[in-house]
Amino acid sequence: QKEVEQNSGPLSVPEGAIASLNCTYSDRGSQSFFWYRQYSGKSPELIMFIYSNGDKEDGRFTAQLNKASQYVSLLIRDSQPSDSATYLCAVKRDGEYGNKLVFGAGTILRVKS
């Protein structure tokens, strides 16, 4: 079992709909979670991060954590064609000299106009 798992997709949604992206993690003690967006041929850019103490909303984006089931979700409201990208989930993990991120393989999102 991979430490962080995502459905590769593609997830297709119509413009204006809510896109729901999920990510499961194996370490029950995980406390920090990150969502990155990556356009084709570009580098990942941070969208949101949340801690184990609660959900977070930022504009059209909401990150939700379900600790009991060990998954984190990213909801994108009013999806736009410009949201079409690969979304990477990452979990913070302690290393010998500080923490690092473990990434899932990403979910491709396609928003159709």
Partner 1 sequence: DAGITQSPRYKITETGRQVTLMCHQTWSHSYMFWYRQDLGHGLRLIYYSAAADITDKGEVPDGYVVSRSKTENFPLTLESATRSQTSVYFCASRGQSNQPQHFGDGTRLSIL
Q: Which amino acid is at 98?
A: G
Name which position in 30, 37, 62, 106 contacts partner 1 (CB under 8 A).
106
Residue 33 contacts partner 1 per CB under 8 A: no
List CB contacts of 33: < 8 A, sequence separation 6 or more.
Answer: 23, 25, 49, 50, 51, 63, 65, 72, 89, 90, 91, 92
Distance (Å, whole) CA 67 – CA 63 = 13
Which of 85, 104, 109, 111: binder of partner 1 (CB under 8 A)? 104
The residue (of 84 and 86) whose beta carbon lies closer to partner 1 is 86
Q: Which residues bind partner 1 (CB under 8 A)?
A: 6, 8, 32, 34, 42-46, 49, 88, 90, 95-106
